[in-house]
């Protein structure tokens, strides 16, 4: 079996997501993960504008709100800006857009995932976590169709199981994992490749 | 791989549109364009992008329908009120020194931003000596902008933003309500010129003191952003002002050094 050189991790979460993200990112940081992490976390607009700050206060790695046309850089955690969709272009830079909300959400996880699937193909890891809606499952399936690795939080562990369950109903992701095991897997995949 | 084929089809479609209609979408951000073409496929009931291409090439009305997807014809009055408040407090005082003013609202869509600008200038006593050029590439949007009629359902949101933007009067003074539309005042309209102009293919048409181009550049790739910023730089007078959308910047363009930041959060820049 050939190993993919993964180049980025995209993550989506909704209700209960901030805690889950903090746990996962903390574990990835401790393990020395250098992959860029790109996250959409649904929140009310005001709270969303503070997300980068909240995460930065608790994490070692640099945290930034993804800016239009900024290149994706290793070792950085990017969060989506409130009120705009976040996409990744084929040249691995970000683009924002103010199209209508998708799945009642802007930013939408599906849109980030679909564009990332195009940009990274099999070199992408997609992660769908706790949440009370169905955003992200179509995008995660697209990541799988483009050969990327798909990880879904174990519904029993998720604060709200709806989002992980929606993905499981839609297709068979590569792994259904608890957060701790998810972090371990990502670190191991990165390490295998570094060797 | 099917996605490769779709990518080729998309490029061919953009090329066909350019050759046939002179609209140049070839340097737009692909991610968003791809999605909007997918939406158009569903709405126009085409099975593939190639089918859409054939349709568009042979039927100008079909192209006009597609154009509604390719452009993002959404806007609001006093969108991001802090932007307009910033202009009022920090730019207007400097604009007072000019005997006459030319202002360019680029990518004006259905006109809301241009009317907001006109209201702001009226309240600051500058409208009488101002001409606002508001440009876009979507003829249907421009037509609606010229009419200056907006759905009454939107008025309460506009009113809130107007107040948050530091509105000095009563918003209802600026329109008359009829049926389900609010018709904006003719005396504002007299200082607005709506015109077809593309940041992708056209050149500078006037020397201006202030350019407002909001939520347009995010749809362009880096090269096209640079082209548009080049036009703005050329059009602006010495020390002229440039306002962008709340998540837009000059950081990743080649014009970062040719403007200084006047208001960081409100995204107002000044030509050096
Ligand atoms: C999302 S709207 C922004 C409207 C308004 N400026 C605002 O912020 O509310 C984007 C507008 O840019 C226009 N646009 C797209 N490409 C353009 C181009 N090449 N030149 C001029 N306008 C363009 C579209 O037609 C659309 O009306």
Q: What is the pLDDT of residues B146-178, one digit of tens each?
A: 999 999 999 999 999 999 999 999 999 999 998
| % residues pLDDT > 90 (chain A) | 88
Dump pLDDT digits (tens) for A42-68. Answer: 998 888 889 999 999 999 999 999 999
Cβ–Cβ under 8 Å, residues B76 and B161: yes
In a domain, A83, yes or no: yes
In a domain, A37, yes or no: yes
Dump pLDDT digits (tens) for B62-112. Answer: 999 999 999 999 899 999 999 999 999 999 999 999 999 999 999 999 999
**Could you say which of B27, B47, B71 is where a domain stops?**
B71
For residue A195, the model assigns a pLDDT of 59
Q: Which of A97, A111, A119 sits opposite B218 (nearest CB)?
A: A97
Dump pLDDT digits (tens) for B107-145. Answer: 999 999 999 999 999 999 999 999 999 999 999 999 999
d(CA A28, ligand 1 centre) in Å: 41
Q: Is 90 exceeded by the pLDDT of residue A22? A: yes
For residue A1, the model assigns a pLDDT of 44
Do B99 and B34 fall within a single domain?
Answer: no
In a domain, A45, yes or no: yes
Do B96 and B174 fall within a single domain?
Answer: yes
Q: Which residues of B touch A107 (CB under 8 A)?
A: none
d(CA B122, ligand 1 centre) in Å: 24
Q: Which of B31, B217, B248 sits opposite A89 (nearest CB)?
A: B31
Number of domains, chain A: 1
For residue A4, the model assigns a pLDDT of 63
Separation of alpha carbons B208 and A45, rounded Å: 35
Question: Residue B134 sits in a domain of what CATH number?
Answer: 3.40.50.150
Separation of alpha carbons A73 and A92, rounded Å: 9
* Residues ≥6 apart with Cβ < 8 Å to A173: A128, A140, A144, A150, A151, A152, A167
**Could you say which of B71, B93, B127 is where a domain stops?**
B71
Q: Is 60 exceeded by the pLDDT of residue B1? A: no
Do B117 and B169 fall within a single domain?
Answer: yes
Q: Is 70 exceeded by the pLDDT of residue B272? A: yes
In a domain, A1, yes or no: no
d(CA A78, ligand 1 centre) in Å: 27
Separation of alpha carbons B265 and B92, rounded Å: 17
Q: Is 60 exceeded by the pLDDT of residue A3? A: no
Do B189 and B257 fall within a single domain?
Answer: yes
Which range of residues forms the domain containing residue A39? 8-193
Beta-carbon pairs below 8 A across chains A and B = 65
Do B67 and B141 fall within a single domain?
Answer: no
Residues of A noted as catalytic: 14, 42, 135
In a domain, B76, yes or no: no
Q: In what order do the strands lie in the sheet with B181-184?
A: B149-151, B181-184, B175-178
Number of domains, chain B: 2
Choice from B67, B71, B81, B116 to test ligand 1 binding pocket (greatest atom count within 8 A of CB) = B71
Dump pLDDT digits (tens) for B42-62. Answer: 999 999 999 999 999 999 999
Nearest CA in chain A to B220: A95
What sign results for the dihedral spanned by CA atoms B85, B113, A101, B18? negative
In a domain, B143, yes or no: yes
Question: Residue A155 sits in a domain of what CATH number?
Answer: 3.40.50.180
Dump pLDDT digits (tens) for B197-230. Answer: 999 999 999 999 999 999 999 999 999 999 999 9
Which range of residues forms the domain containing residue B9? 3-71
For residue A194, the model assigns a pLDDT of 65
In a domain, A3, yes or no: no
Q: What are phi and psi of B46, to 5 degrees?
A: -110, 140
């Amino acid at each position: 079996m050939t190993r993919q050189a993964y180049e980025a991790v995209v993550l989506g979460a909704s209700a209960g997501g901030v805690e889950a993200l903090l746990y996962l990112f903390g574990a990835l940081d401790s393990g020395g993960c250098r992959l860029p992490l790109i996250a959409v976390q649904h929140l009310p607009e005001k709270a969303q504008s503070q997300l980068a700050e909240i995460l930065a206060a608790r994490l070692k790695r640099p945290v930034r709100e993804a800016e239009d046309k900024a290149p994706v850089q290793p070792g950085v955690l990017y969060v989506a800006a409130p009120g705009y969709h976040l996409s990744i272009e084929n040249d691995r830079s970000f683009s924002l857009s103010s199209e209508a909300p998708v799945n009642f959400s802007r930013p939408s996880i599906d849109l980030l995932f679909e564009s990332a699937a195009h940009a990274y193909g099999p070199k992408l890891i997609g992660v769908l976590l706790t949440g009370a809606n169905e955003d992200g499952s179509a995008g995660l399936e697209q990541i799988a169709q483009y050969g990327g690795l798909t990880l879904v939080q174990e519904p029993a562990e998720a604060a709200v199981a709806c989002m992980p369950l929606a993905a499981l109903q839609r297709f068979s992701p590569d792994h259904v994992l608890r957060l701790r095991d998810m972090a371990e897997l990502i670190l191991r995949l990165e390490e295998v490749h570094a060797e | 791989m099917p996605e490769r084929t779709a990518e080729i089809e998309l490029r061919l479609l953009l090329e066909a549109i350019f050759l046939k209609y002179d609209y140049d979408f070839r340097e737009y951000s692909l991610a968003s364009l791809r999605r909007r073409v997918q939406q158009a496929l569903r709405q126009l009931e085409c099975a593939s992008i190639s089918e859409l291409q054939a349709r568009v090439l042979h039927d100008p009305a079909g192209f006009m329908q597609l154009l509604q997807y390719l452009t993002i014809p959404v806007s609001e009055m006093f969108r991001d009120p802090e932007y307009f408040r910033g202009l009022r407090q920090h730019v207007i005082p400097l604009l007072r020194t000019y005997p006459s003013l030319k202002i360019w609202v680029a990518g004006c869509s259905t006109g809301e931003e241009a009317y907001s600008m006109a209201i702001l200038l009226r309240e600051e006593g500058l409208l009488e000596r101002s001409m606002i050029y508001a440009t876009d590439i979507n003829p249907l949007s421009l037509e609606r902008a010229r009419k200056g009629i907006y759905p009454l359902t939107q008025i309460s949101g506009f009113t809130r933003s107007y107040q948050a933007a530091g509105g000095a009067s009563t918003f209802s003074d600026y329109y008359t309500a009829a049926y389900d539309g609010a018709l904006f005042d003719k005396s504002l309209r007299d200082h607005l010129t709506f015109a077809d102009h593309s940041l992708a293919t056209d050149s500078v048409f006037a020397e201006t003191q202030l350019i407002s181009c909001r939520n347009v550049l995010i749809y362009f790739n880096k090269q096209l952003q640079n082209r548009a910023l080049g036009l703005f730089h050329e059009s602006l007078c010495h020390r002229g002002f440039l306002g962008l959308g709340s998540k837009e910047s000059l950081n990743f363009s080649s014009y970062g050094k040719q403007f200084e930041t006047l208001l960081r959060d409100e995204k107002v820049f000044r030509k050096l």
